[in-house]
Amino acid sequence: MNRAVRPPELPSIPAGTLEPGLYIVATPIGNLGDITLRAIRVLGGAALIACEDTRVAGKLLKHLGIKAKLQRLDDHASPEVRARIIDEARHRPVALVSDAGTPLISDPGYRLVREARAAGVTVTSIPGACAAISALAMAGLPSDRFLFAGFLPVKDKARTEALESLAGLAATLVFYETAPRLERSLAAIAALWPAREVAVARELTKMHEECRSGTAASLAAHYAAHPPKGEIVLLIGPPADTEAPEHDTDALLRAALADAGPGKAAGLVAKATGIERAVLYARALELKGE
């Protein structure tokens, strides 16, 4: 006779019964229903919650019905603030949260965790939502090897150099990006790797969640016509095994710019490479201004 297998019961952790230490707690990236039971129990039992923004953390705690002492901890926090948090964690449970998702993933907290470990404080990770992992799971790009590289640089030249440094990596590249900078980042990717598959995942877990894929040029054209909103994860597929050497578009544009203006130079290179003229024109303007 088959017997139904009952799932193990979750341990009950009433407030005030956690062991002292630093608890790194992942929080929802949009949908508050993604908070885990373990995260709720740890936040409810913490004597202090270090957070990126007390207003954002306060809204989550209010939703959960939790009252707790909050301490702001952002990238500008002083060593003295970190020392006070670590001293508290020696004797009582302290939680660390970011505004959304898993702390330290392009969010503050690295120095605190490093110094807590060096001080002999127990550090525990409470896993949960992470935008980079959620996007990778739904984008349909190879996920056996990937590199998360945070935010791309703001300036055009630095952005291109950052991408070029990753050109030979046989892995999916994962970046965080902002809506106002998405089109320029896609243009830079199109100029470097016109044939690679790219995905844009935005508003993850929210009502208007979207994951769109295609070439960087096609995505740039789409978002030029439909300006994006919200938080964005930008993914670039790895080079194909049979991928031919890609055009050095900067070199081609510079050569064309020696005898022509940006518009004509972009048209000439577009005919030679098949890259969209609008993408090349934007890059030609950048090169002309260097």
Task: Identify the pLDDT of residue 240.
Answer: 77
* Superfamily (CATH H level) for 132-236: Tetrapyrrole methylase, C-terminal domain (3.30.950.10)
Task: Identify the pLDDT of residue 267.
Answer: 86
Which sequence spans correspond to the domains of the chain? 21-129, 132-236, 249-289
Dihedral class, residue 205 (left if φ above 0, else alpha if ψ from -120 to 50, else beta): left
Q: What is the 3-state secondary structure (H, E, C) of 184-248?
A: HHHHHHHHHCCCCCEEEEECCCCCCCEEEEECHHHHHHHHHHCCCCCCEEEEECCCCCCCCCCCC
pLDDT, tens digit only, all 290 positions of the chain: 444 444 445 455 555 589 999 999 999 999 999 999 999 999 999 999 999 999 999 999 999 999 999 999 998 899 999 999 999 999 999 999 999 999 999 998 999 999 999 999 999 999 999 999 999 999 999 999 999 999 999 999 999 999 999 988 999 999 999 999 999 999 999 999 999 999 999 999 999 999 999 999 999 999 999 999 999 999 999 987 645 445 577 888 887 888 789 898 888 888 767 677 888 888 888 888 77
**CATH architecture of structural domain 21-129:** 3-Layer(aba) Sandwich (3.40)
Record the pTM: 0.78
Task: Identify the pLDDT of residue 268.
Answer: 82
Best CA proximity match to 8, nearest among 35, 37, 34: 37
Check for a shared fold between 21-129 and 132-236.
Answer: no
